[in-house]
Amino acid sequence: MLIVDFKLALFSFLLLLGSLLALVWIVARRHSWFDDDQVAVWQSFPLGIILWSPSNRLRFANRSAYRLLHAEPDVTATTGYAQLLQKIEADMSVQHFPLSLSPRLILDVWVGPLGSSRLILLRDVSKQRRREKDSQLYWSSVSHEFRTPLTSILSHLEVSRSENVPVEVQAHSLEIAHQQTQRLSNLIHGTLALERLKALAHLDKISVDIILVAEEAIAELILLAEAKSIGLDFHYHPPIPPVLGNPDKLKQLFINLLDNAIKYCQPGDSVTVSLTTLEDSVQCRVADTGAGIPAEHLPHLTQQFYRVRRDVPGSGLGLAIVAEIVRQHDGRLQIESYTEGDAKGTVVIFTLPILLTAV
């Protein structure tokens, strides 16, 4: 998906560059750079445009150049302009280079002759660079998470194939290989589910009875909770109006939250789902009385593959999927957790917009 975006961005830029060069050629033929009509065209151009004299003195800079260089009112007095001038004067043959003005602002700079003058084009590529960095970090995380179970599977299969180890050890290795295979399968399915969610341009939404959705999710996990001696309760204050949403995704949201809560609870703990009507939304809460989550982990819980405890089975994708579903429903997500006191446990709160008109 990212590759397609980069190709589209590159194509758009080349098209824009071609249009600009055609305009430059036309203007050069007419020998009229700064009449009112031409200045209006230069000023409206989305790329930063700077013209230098043969001695590298500023002849013209459009509004985009001022904006990109954070220059007001004198573009030549800015740090960005000084860095640009220094880079070009250090190597007069340079034609294309990145210019990093801050950690969050990176410009793509093109330099070329225009008669006796020098034309400089500036393009903001900060978002593209951040996407590339995010993509690298993402695939690094994916490869790390996939490599761990794969390494375990291969090593334990080798043990199970050996004729010089006891049958009990072989059986134990096969069991571990099976567990890691299941973990790898969950990672793959979770990753694909999250990427499909992110790739959706539009999520189909209808009128949804959120009470029914919550009850269906609870019904799927009630036996698991009972098997672990964990109480699972459901409360709501009627009337609860219908919400605008996708019933399948909302059910997945509740299942992910309930599965997480049950997973981190001990026998005797409880999990409670509650619904409350607010002014323009329905507030949903999934609260447990488990051990709670240390405060330093809370800002990272919705990051992909982030796991607080490695001794509890999981992919680290459940809350990332929850956050994406809430985002696509124009809701708000809040996570609170305490490790001691009367409020010990974790509460996940999210809101869903009430259906105001017929869909």
Q: What is the pLDDT of residues 156-213, one digit of tens each?
A: 888 888 888 888 888 888 988 888 888 888 888 888 888 888 888 788 999 999 999 9
- Position 311 scores a pLDDT of 66
In a domain, 194, yes or no: yes
Give the pLDDT band (50/70/90) at residue 22: low
Q: CA–CA separation, 121 vs 111, rounded Å?
A: 7
In a domain, 37, yes or no: yes
Packed helices 126-161 and 167-199: angle between N→C axes, nearest 10 degrees: 160
Higher-confidence residue of 85 and 224: namely 224
E-state strands within 261-332: 270-277, 281-288
221 and 331 housed in the same domain: yes
* Structure tokens that stand for 69 in this block: 């260089």
102 and 237 housed in the same domain: no
3-state secondary structure of 119: strand
In a domain, 359, yes or no: no
298 and 223 housed in the same domain: yes
3-state helix vs strand vs coil in the chain, percent to 5: 50, 20, 30
Residues with Cβ within 8 Å of residue 92, at least 6 apart in sequence: none
CATH code for the domain of 328: 3.30.565.10
231 and 326 housed in the same domain: yes
In a domain, 23, yes or no: yes
Overall average pLDDT of the 241-262 stretch:
94
Residue 129 has pLDDT above 90, yes or no: no
Q: What is the DSSP letter of 241?
A: -
Q: CA–CA separation, 166 vs 172, rounded Å?
A: 10
Range from 12-21, 55-64, 315-324 carrying the lowest mean pLDDT: 12-21
Q: Could you tell me the pTM of the whole model?
A: 0.63
E-state strands within the chain: 48-52, 58-61, 96-102, 105-114, 117-124, 206-208, 231-236, 243-245, 270-277, 281-288, 333-338, 345-353
- Position 20 scores a pLDDT of 57
Range from 11-15, 72-76, 118-122, 167-171 carrying the lowest mean pLDDT: 11-15
| Total domain count, the chain | 3
In a domain, 265, yes or no: yes
Residue 315 has pLDDT above 80, yes or no: no
Give the pLDDT band (50/70/90) at residue 215: very high
78 and 172 housed in the same domain: no
- Position 359 scores a pLDDT of 45
Residue 8 has pLDDT above 80, yes or no: no
Give the pLDDT band (50/70/90) at residue 282: very high
From 108, 124, 140, give the residue that closes a domain: 124
321 and 308 housed in the same domain: yes
* Structure tokens that stand for 11 in this block: 């194509």
- Position 328 scores a pLDDT of 93
Q: CA–CA separation, 19 vs 33, rounded Å?
A: 16
- Position 85 scores a pLDDT of 83
Residues with Cβ within 8 Å of residue 194, at least 6 apart in sequence: 304, 317, 320, 321, 324
115 and 57 housed in the same domain: yes
172 and 291 housed in the same domain: no
- Position 183 scores a pLDDT of 82
Residue 106 has pLDDT above 80, yes or no: yes
3-state secondary structure of 277: strand
Higher-confidence residue of 41 and 286: namely 286
In a domain, 94, yes or no: yes
- Position 16 scores a pLDDT of 59
213 and 184 housed in the same domain: no
- Position 3 scores a pLDDT of 44
Give the pLDDT band (50/70/90) at residue 31: very low
339 and 281 housed in the same domain: yes
> 290 lies in which domain range?
206-353
